[in-house]
Amino acid sequence: MLRFFQQTGYLFVRGLKQSLRPLPALIPSLFMPLFFLVVNAGAFANLRHMPGFNAGSYLVFYAPVAILQAVFFSSGDAGIDLVVDITSGYFDRLKITPIHPMSLLLGKLLAVGVRVMAQMLLVVLAIVLLGGRFVTGFAGLPLLLLLGALFGMAWSGVGLTIALLTRNQRATQSAFVLFFPFSFITTAQLPLNLLSGWYRTAVILNPVTYVLEALRALTTYGWQWHTIVNGFLAAAGIAVVTLSAAFYAFNRNVTR
């Protein structure tokens, strides 16, 4: 068991270093969420006067969306990093070593979680500098980071699965398109009580909506425990699906 943890720790450190190189490649995952935040906060600022819109400002309302987008962007690279290992032959060399097979995937997932939390902190700092405030303060920050890390690892399972099944970089990069429906068909633009029709139904059925609402509770509305717990349950449910698929694809690769 000790050896398993040592191996996982080594692969975690390697995965973290791999995800941080080159540093300029991290700019889009920080720039894009803040870009959307500034543009939307400026374009829809007057929505705060709409009946039923109960956030103090649109910047405060949209802040958790920027945080969620940072999670999407930073966790989406996990599959691409794995494809690089596969195409370079490094992954196949690891498979014939005494390293426990599960360490290969677990180390990468833990690296994703740490990177997600680091990038979330940077986005949170930027939001505060832009005038945003977080009603739960420092007390809510650990829960915010934990939820983001859990969802980040869950979302990385999509890219990891495609990488392991296709062993192709272009196919793995195509997973990025899933970001748009899962992030925008939510309460990203307006609260649920102001939505209607098929769009409202789609938002309710989208599990990412509950993750976003939990982030919004922690940043905008306060300690709404029912919403927060639902967010964690939704993230855990997504993780069960995506990581089960990733481990299935991984086992297929190991037994080849």
Domain-wise residue ranges, the chain: 2-254
Q: How many CB atoms lie within 10 A of CB 30?
A: 16
146 contacts 120 by C-beta, under 8 angstroms: no
pTM: 0.88
Q: Is 167 left (phi over 0), alpha (psi -120 to 50) or beta?
A: left
Determine the pLDDT at residue 129.
Answer: 85
Q: How many CB atoms lie within 10 A of CB 82?
A: 29
- Compute the distance between CA of residue 159 and CA of residue 190 in angstroms, rounded to an integer: 29
Q: Would you give per-residue pLDDT tens digits along the chain (256 residues)?
A: 667 777 777 777 777 777 666 666 667 777 788 888 888 877 777 777 777 677 677 888 888 999 998 888 877 777 777 787 778 777 777 777 777 767 777 888 888 888 889 888 888 888 888 877 788 888 889 999 999 999 999 998 888 888 888 888 787 877 778 878 888 889 888 888 888 889 999 999 999 999 999 999 998 888 999 999 999 999 999 999 998 998 888 877 665 5
Interval 19-47: pLDDT, tens: 666 666 667 777 788 888 888 877 777 77
Determine the pLDDT at residue 23.
Answer: 63
